A and B are shown apart, each in its own frame.
Chain A
Amino acid sequence: MTVVDTPPPRLPVRQTQTPAEPGVSPAAGPGVSPMLHRLAAERATGVLLREHGTLYLSDGQVTHAESAETPGLDVLLATGGALDAESWREAIARAGARRQVGRFLVDSGRVAEGALELCHVAALFDAAYFVLGPSGAPARFRYGAAHWLGPVRPVPVAALERESLRRRELLHRIWPAPATDTAPLIRADRAAEPPVPSRQEAVLDQVNGVRTAADISLALGRPAFHTLVDLRRLAAAGIVTTAAPQSLRAPQAPGAAGPAAADAAPEPPPPHHDPVSALLTQPSADPDVALLRRLRDALEAL
């Protein structure tokens, strides 16, 4: 007997342009910030404020990044018990004014230097992925501003941009539909779920029809991009899908989706109107129906 517990192989994705530039896919699109290039070239120090978050620069290198879409360093370190809220408060009180909180945490033995670096770099790239994403609002730069954490492991702007584009490409390759990145999520058919790896299972356990990827990352204290990767894999396997828009559901719980539903607003609603789609979205343990549903999603995403 064979137990299939891996996501299905990647579906081929049609290239809409010739791959003249290796590594740049249609999914990558225009995502880089010309302003950031200029700031790196002039070795600027300060904070870049963009629609989805902020980047702190020191001498043209990125020292810190924050986004509302991602858990901050404090959440990441607190969730596993590496550093509690009291230690954070004390460190900020004693070293925040001179912007040396990171140094203080290491020197006072509250966290190992390697652990702080690993966690901070992970958080920096994680937030930067969202900050450098497509943006509809103009960016601003405030010269001279510095973050209270202080430099931990600065990252060159070029490396950050390259990685952000690579991450977009990676998500696109796993599953080309971005809906699970932002919308409230549901489990497609709990009874028919195959076993999934433990890190994906932790994500799956948080899926409840209301939470979005950002909510799940915060709850798990896990970088948001890691959650996006697992959700795309779960979507590709037909295990997780986006919750139907509230208007198509029974209208008795208008507040249930709350702010999460607002995040989902820009996503095109799933086509429930035609009878074939309606049939396919019926919960079913029949693997053929699950396969057809995945194919439909993949075709729509092309």
Chain B
Amino acid sequence: MPGIDECLVEAMRLPGALGAAVVDWTSGLALGTVGEAPGGDHETTAAEAAELARLAAEHGAFAPEKGPDQEGQDPPVEDLIVSNRDTYHVLRFVATTFDSSVFLHLWLARADGNLALARIRLGEMAGRLVLG
């Protein structure tokens, strides 16, 4: 059963991984970080990524159709992908059985990174992190 640090180390094993963090999107707090961060500052990166994650989670345009059996407790968005000229950012929301607002943030070099693989692995990690 992995904790936060094991989860981050696993994320860093993905091809092209530059840095990773577990972030709370309500407060902008980085609960754990590993590797590099854009600009060298994990705390600033966490706060800025949290703002993006919050907008995606709160705006109805990005939410799925509401089914009859949906409680609305899970994050409405699974992940966010941002690409620029040389890197990718993948933000994966973590569903927990307790009240939280947490996501995994993976920063990938574009030359070596595999976006599809990273997205799948990050989803698996998010599940294992809270379910063991």
Which of A34-42, A106-114, A236-244 lies on the face that meets chain B?
Answer: A106-114
A122 within 8 A of B: yes
A residues less than 8 Å from B59 (CB atoms): 6, 197
CA distance A57 to B9 in the complex (A): 27
A residues less than 8 Å from B28 (CB atoms): 166, 170
A residues less than 8 Å from B96 (CB atoms): 80, 82, 115, 118-119
Shortest CB–CB separation between residue B6 and chain A, in angstroms? 8
A249 within 8 A of B: no
Query: Contact flags (1/0) for A21-49 with B, using CB distance below 8 Å?
Result: 00000000000000000000000000000
Of the listed residues B27, B99, B101, B131, the one surrounded by the most CB atoms of chain A closer than 10 A to its CB is B99
Task: Given A113-B2, A114-B132, A229-B26, answer yes or no on A121-B60 (Cβ-Cβ < 8 Å).
Answer: no
B34 within 8 A of A: no
A residues less than 8 Å from B24 (CB atoms): 122
Task: Given A112-B130, A113-B132, A114-B1, answer yes or no on A80-B26 (Cβ-Cβ < 8 Å).
Answer: no
A residues less than 8 Å from B29 (CB atoms): 125, 163
Question: Closest residue to B3 on the A side, CB-wise?
Answer: A113
Query: Contact flags (1/0) for B95-120 with A, using CB distance below 8 Å?
Result: 01111111000000000000000000
CA distance A110 to B65 in the complex (A): 33
Contact A117 B100 (CB under 8 A): no
Task: Given A114-B128, A114-B130, A226-B26, answer yes or no on A220-B99 (Cβ-Cβ < 8 Å).
Answer: yes
Task: Given A112-B129, A122-B24, A125-B27, answer yes or no on A117-B4 (Cβ-Cβ < 8 Å).
Answer: yes
Shortest CB–CB separation between residue B55 and chain A, in angstroms? 9
Contact B22 A79 (CB under 8 A): no
Query: Contact flags (1/0) for A53-88 with B, using CB distance below 8 Å?
Result: 000000000000000000000001101111000000
A–B pairs, 20, beta carbons within 8 Å: A79-B99, A80-B96, A80-B98, A112-B131, A112-B132, A115-B130, A115-B131, A115-B132, A118-B4, A118-B94, A119-B96, A121-B31, A125-B29, A153-B3, A197-B60, A198-B76, A199-B26, A200-B58, A226-B101, A230-B26
Q: A109-B132, A195-B60 are in contact. List 12 more A-B contacts (CB 8 A).
A: A81-B97, A82-B98, A112-B132, A113-B132, A114-B2, A114-B129, A115-B96, A167-B27, A197-B57, A199-B57, A221-B99, A223-B99
B-side residues, CB < 8 A to A, are 1-4, 7, 22, 24, 26-29, 31-32, 43, 47, 57-60, 72-73, 76, 94, 96-102, 128-132
